[in-house]
Amino acid sequence: MRLLACFLSTIFVVSAYKSYDGYQVITSRTVTLRDLSEPRRLENDPEYIFWARPAVGRPLHVMTSQISIGKLWSELEHLNLAPSVYIEDVGPVLAKADEKRQKLMDIPLNRAVSFDRYMTLQEILDYTAEVVQNYPLHSSLLELGTTYEGNPLRAVKVSNGPGKRGIFLDAGTHAREHITHPLALKAIFELVENYDQNKALVDLFDWYILPVANPDGYNYTFNEDRFWRKNRSPNVGSDCVGTDPNRNYDINWGIDGDANPCSEAYRGVAAFSEAESSAIGSALRDIENNGGLALYMSTHCYGTFLIYPWGFTYEFPVTYDELAKAANLTATAIEAVNGTRFVIGSSANVYFPAVGASMDYAYAVGNNNTYSYTWELPAGGEFGFAPLPEDILPIVSETWEGIKALANYVNTQVLK
């Protein structure tokens, strides 16, 4: 009977998963600074799913269904962006990745952390509970809030004494960006379980790590739609579900941004209308008011970018030189590991203008003194936002080296 139930649930999961048969990913020539504004219009079309968003020095990767391929192709030709096929058919690629994932799911984790495969939401929640239980002297859980579907926004706080400035790192704001969650787990593992080796970092700062910043969406990517990006809260008057939490922060919200609930980057009905952004915003203010928010990092993928404010304007922030200097030495530390080269710059200028992002909000909360960054981690290739399992550990390990270098540098600086 149990076997039958298991079999039936497997069938259910497979049949419920959204098919991407016939979807193609179209790429372009390298985007230049002059190209940046035009592809933005395409981003507002819900038919187009941007794997790689318009960014200087990178080609676009845009996924769309068979019906819209012709339209996308002519739009890109019209913009002189030289379209070509990147992935002929996403369906079989996804099936291959899913088959591998299903096999790996049989590996029991015994409540340990794993970098051999992508952990489910429940496994991550179990791990965080377990790790603070095992290391109560320097770690604790912080429940920052509860999502629309009732899932906890659970951070791990790592601290060995009062009076320190804070570092906040979140992962998975965009549900499908699966390589980010293991990075947060790597940080928890190193700071909590590997405390003896990393004690110096905990002597310097209190660390707040939120490994799943969009748990409803993350669950949905495992059970329903691999390419889901937003949260799962419904929208009044629309059949389209979800808001992009990273367009919902109370920082110049409403001066621009996507007001279409069907869009992938929908900003929501009001600033902080969403549980995820509201909870993180509140945590950042608390940290600022209790010792100061020294460093904020929001982790995304993909693109191999390390970007800093502002996102809402092309203007440079007051601490531009410092933010750039710190980003540079971080990129250098990462490159020393495996040669991976991050592009650095202010968000609107090298990546894309975006209003209501957490990075801008954190910078403002810290009175423009916080070192505030968005990471676009290396990923891509045919597996898009979730590199093959064997690539998880190399990516998160090299990035962790960068985070350590960044934290050590920030410790030596108090911005005025």
Q: Please give the positions annotated as active site.
A: 376
Q: Is 247 in the site for Zn ion (CB under 5 A)?
A: no
What x-and-dash track marks residues 119-158 binding Zn ion by CB under 5 A? Answer: ----------------------------------------
For 31-79, where are the E strands, in sequence order? 49-52, 59-64
Q: Which residue number, 302 or 409, has a Cβ lying nearer to Zn ion? A: 302
Q: Which residue number, 117 or 174, has a Cβ lying nearer to Zn ion? A: 174
Number of residues that bind Zn ion (CB under 5 A): 3
Per DSSP, what are the bridge partners of residue 181?
A: none
The least CB distance from residue 369 to Zn ion, in Å, is 25
The least CB distance from residue 182 to Zn ion, in Å, is 15
Q: Which residue number, 147 or 198, has a Cβ lying nearer to Zn ion? A: 147
Per DSSP, what are the bridge partners of residue 300?
A: 376
Closest CA to 307 of 253, 343, 257: 343
The least CB distance from residue 179 to Zn ion, in Å, is 11
What x-and-dash track marks residues 300-329 binding Zn ion by CB under 5 A? Answer: x-----------------------------
Cα–Cα distance measured from residue 80 to residue 59, given in angstroms and rounded to the nearest whole number: 13
Cα–Cα distance measured from residue 181 to residue 299, given in angstroms and rounded to the nearest whole number: 8
Q: Which residue is it, tokens 């769309």?
A: 64
Closest CA to 356 of 274, 241, 261: 274
Specify whether the CB–CB gap between 305 and 55 falls below 8 A. yes
Per DSSP, what are the bridge partners of residue 166?
A: 206, 293
Q: Which residue number, 131 or 362, has a Cβ lying nearer to Zn ion? A: 362
Site for Zn ion in 159-218 (CB under 5 A): 174, 177
Using CB under 5 A, which of the segments 3-11, 95-103, 135-143, 298-306 binds Zn ion? 298-306
Q: Which residue number, 174 or 267, has a Cβ lying nearer to Zn ion? A: 174
Cα–Cα distance measured from residue 337 to residue 308, given in angstroms and rounded to the nearest whole number: 23
The least CB distance from residue 55 to Zn ion, in Å, is 12
The least CB distance from residue 242 to Zn ion, in Å, is 14
148 prior amide bond cis, ω within 30:
no
Specify whether the CB–CB gap between 63 and 227 falls below 8 A. yes
Specify whether the CB–CB gap between 42 and 52 falls below 8 A. no
Q: Interface with Zn ion by CB under 5 A: which residues? A: 174, 177, 300
